[in-house]
Amino acid sequence: MSSNRNRPVKIDRIIGQIGCLFSIFSANAATLEVHIDNRQGPGTIYAALHAGPAADWKSKPVALGSTDSDLLLFEDLEPGRYALQLFQDSNANQWLDMSKRGMPLEPVGLSGNPKPARGRPPASECLFTLEPDGSRIHIQLMHPPAARQR
């Protein structure tokens, strides 16, 4: 009889431990809310999120995302430092179109909204901190001059 009395306690203890594990994992999962400003016309937004203080645009992104609205969410991320690059696919070919000189022909944006004087700045200059309770950033799309679009 004492073994039956202990059994519910063991099950309750196991359920409690599982609940603690879920709360630990949930506490480490943050959401990044990206608001896209200066969007003009139709076109899917494609984004690549790069992690760490040594982030590099050529490295494999930790997350990819796309949206047809002005809001993009990345969920279940570890808090830390990230850099984000995105573009608006104005012609729906799922690529960032570039000129022969390597200049974007479609709207682009980077976290931190730098104004690049000579090409894209390094990812290390576009870092932001994703807080444990989540973060919200705004990215301003930069549109190419009309002369470059042709």
Mean pLDDT over 4-25 rounds to 51
Distance CA 105, CA 94 (A): 13
Write out the H or E segment, with its range, that includes residue 13: helix 2-27
Quote the pLDDT of residue 21.
45
* Chain centroid offset of residue 82 CA: 8
For the stretch 86-136, pLDDT in tens is: 999 999 999 999 999 889 999 999 999 998 777 889 999 999 999 999 999
User: Does residue 42 carry a pLDDT above 60?
Assistant: yes
Q: pLDDT tens for residues 19-33?
A: 544 444 445 799 999
Q: What is the pLDDT of residue 17?
A: 53
Please report the DSSP string for 56-73 in residue order: -TTSPPSEEEEESSSEEE
Tens-digit pLDDT profile for residues 57-97:
999 999 999 999 999 999 999 999 999 999 999 999 999 99
CATH number of 30-149: 2.60.40
Hey, how many other C-beta atoms are within 10 angstroms of the C-beta on 120?
15
Beta strands in 21-124 (DSSP E): 30-37, 44-51, 63-67, 71-77, 80-89, 108-110
Q: Are 45 and 86 in contact, with CB atoms under 8 Å apart?
A: yes
> Is this structure's pTM higher than 0.85?
no
